[in-house]
Amino acid sequence: MTPFSVELANAEDTARLGQDVGLSLRKGDLIALSGDLGAGKSTFARGLIRTIADDADYDVPSPTFTIVQSYPELRLPISHVDLYRLSTADEIDELGLDEALLDGIVLIEWPERADGFLPPVSLSITLQDHGSGRKAFIEGPPDVLARLERSLAIRSFLARSGLAHAERRYLLGDASARGYETLSTGSGTPLILMNSPYNPGGPILRDGKTYMQIAHLSQSVNAFVALDRLLASKGFNVPHINAEDLEHGFLVIENLGSDGILDKDGAPIFERYEAAVRLLAKLHQFIWPQDIPVGNGATHRLHHFDRDAMMIEVELLSDWYVPRMNGTVISPDLKSSYIAAWDNVFSQLSNAEQSLLLRDVHSPNILWQAHRSGIERVGLIDFQDAMLGPSAYDVASLIMDARVTIEPDMQDLLLAAYIEERRAGSTAFDETGFKKAFAIMAAQRNAKILGIFVRLDERDGKPFYLRHLPRIQTYLERVIDHPALAPVKDWCEKNGILAQRIKA
């Protein structure tokens, strides 16, 4: 990827470039910022630091006299360095830049005074006068430039959508490749930017398919767009899509707020969980199409939650959780017996009721809309991985919430509320069949999550998911007593899986 330049008409454009650069950075990045006095380095630096601080008025003093101004409290800690007053280049060793890069980023003004003593530079940005404005010349390694070019592509998308001057702020990243930002325009509730690049899916695992393809995870933003419009057409409360760039994976969507279904202490609010489970009961009374229009002449096909998808997910337990717990990779024979046990269990789902399966119906993905009524009080925001599968799956996902402990008594009340709502909607509802499917799907999902959370720690460097493991272990232990799960329960008991607690 070759170096490029960005034209900056005024100081506001320079500050916005700081925003765009700031949102592309990762721990370990070093930015070398060059330019004559008055070229806009301070304006750029304030834009970058205030973006990471999520505060448009954040105090950003010049480091001219202190040489290093540190911001260790930020989401991404920053060391802002000014080498203008450096006596000799070898003094750089005393600034602790290598240590700062271990936990955050370093922004250096007047890097030319370093005379080769700097750690490797991630981005080199030079600000120069250009006509009545300025121009920024940017170079760096291809991977860093690719990150920045995607951030700049977001700015271009916003400009095409009438949001050229929106203030961008980091909102969150999830366990996938997606990222989210808030977009403030100076009035009203900020909008949400979804940054969802096409995900090729990783290495081939079997039958020429990646994990994502076997598990039927969405690879492009088309899935979200299709499901969003389908759910809205049935009266469910999902974010309105204000602008879209399907080719690049950018959406501007409605902000449904931050009021969830947990109280201020992080405990579940029964009324809100009950409203959510009754929403699922209504959702399961619709007949859902398999092919859904996206809006650009294309369609999105809903996959079936088939045996291969269920199995690749529970194999996360055998491939990641069991080795972490036992300290050794599972043997081929033991793996084969594990798969055979689940095959036996999954074969019992052949007559299970099928419906739209949203896949991740739990507290992080439900926003409470107190100003609305009925099912519209429940805002849904994560459904791009939806499939057609056992209706019991989403009920199990909600009632056994992976992120917050739902005690057995509350689980029973929520399940009873769902069944009550289904009976009111149809006398043909098969409660016995549903409860069996519920147990199987709850066990399948919790086995998957045990493996995913260990994988997120070991492969992706995200250890904070491990704190949820005791809860998931308890959930699995509760449902595995159902007779339909006897083969899996026997396997777990023979191999000591339920008798231990993983060491984080």
Cα separation, 40 vs 50, whole angstroms: 15
Q: 315-328: per-residue pLDDT in tens?
A: 999 999 999 988 89
| Structure confidence at residue 1 (pLDDT) | 64
> Mean pLDDT over residues 187-205, rounded?
91
With contact defined as beta carbons under 8 Å apart, do 336 and 430 qualify?
Answer: no
End-to-end CA distance of the chain: 41
Report which DSSP code applies to 265.
T
Q: 164-189: per-residue pLDDT in tens?
A: 999 999 998 654 578 999 999 888 88
| Structure confidence at residue 86 (pLDDT) | 85
- The three-state secondary structure class of 56 is coil
**Which residues lie across from 168 on neighbouring strands?**
183
pLDDT-wise least confident of 432-436, 442-446, 463-467: 463-467
Contacts (Cβ under 8 Å, ≥6 apart) of 47: 14, 15, 16, 17, 18, 19, 22
With contact defined as beta carbons under 8 Å apart, do 211 and 235 qualify?
Answer: no
User: Which secondary structure element, helix H or strand E, spans residue 441, and what is its range?
Assistant: helix 431-458
| Structure confidence at residue 202 (pLDDT) | 85
Residues of the chain with pLDDT > 70, as a percent, come to 98
Tokens 């052949």 identify what position? Answer: 350
Residue 328 buriedness (CB in 10 A; 0-12 / 13-18 / 19+): exposed
| Structure confidence at residue 91 (pLDDT) | 86
| Structure confidence at residue 170 (pLDDT) | 94
Longest dimension (CA), the chain: 85
- The token duo for 395 is 């009920």
Of the pLDDT bands very low, low, confident and very high (cuts 50, 70, 90), residue 74 is very high
Residue 296 buriedness (CB in 10 A; 0-12 / 13-18 / 19+): exposed
With contact defined as beta carbons under 8 Å apart, do 313 and 244 qualify?
Answer: no
Q: Over the chain, what is the mean pLDDT?
A: 94
| Structure confidence at residue 90 (pLDDT) | 81
User: Which secondary structure element, helix H or strand E, spans residue 194, and what is its range?
Assistant: strand 191-195
Name the residue with higher pLDDT: 186 or 57.
57
Stated length of the chain: 504
Q: How far is CA 378 from CA 63, 232, 414, in A?
A: 48, 12, 15
pLDDT at 88 over 90: no
> Mean pLDDT over residues 33-56, rounded?
96
Cα separation, 441 vs 475, whole angstroms: 12
Q: 381-406: per-residue pLDDT in tens?
A: 999 999 999 999 999 999 999 999 99
Cα separation, 158 vs 440, whole angstroms: 45
Cα separation, 33 vs 106, whole angstroms: 10
Contacts (Cβ under 8 Å, ≥6 apart) of 233: none
| Structure confidence at residue 178 (pLDDT) | 86
pLDDT at 426 over 90: no
Of the pLDDT bands very low, low, confident and very high (cuts 50, 70, 90), residue 111 is very high
pTM of the model: 0.92
Cα separation, 248 vs 243, whole angstroms: 12
What is the C-alpha radius of gyration for the chain, rounded to an integer number of angstroms? Answer: 26
Closest alpha carbon to 283 in 227, 241, 240: 227
Cα separation, 269 vs 370, whole angstroms: 13
- The token duo for 27 is 């721990």
Helices (H) and strands (E) in the chain, counts: 15, 20
| Structure confidence at residue 176 (pLDDT) | 53
Closest alpha carbon to 147 in 166, 173, 112, 165: 173
Backbone angles phi, psi at 456, to 5 degrees: -60, -35
pLDDT at 439 over 60: yes
| Structure confidence at residue 218 (pLDDT) | 93
Residues of the chain with pLDDT > 90, as a percent, come to 87
pLDDT-wise least confident of 83-92, 333-342, 427-436: 83-92
- The token duo for 142 is 């291809």
Describe the crossing of helices 469-479 and 431-458 by its angle, rounded to 10 degrees. 150
Cα separation, 227 vs 253, whole angstroms: 14
Report which DSSP code applies to 102.
H
Q: How far is CA 407 from CA 43, 402, 435, in A?
A: 52, 12, 18
Q: 233-271: per-residue pLDDT in tens?
A: 999 999 999 999 999 999 999 999 999 999 999 999 999
Of the pLDDT bands very low, low, confident and very high (cuts 50, 70, 90), residue 89 is confident
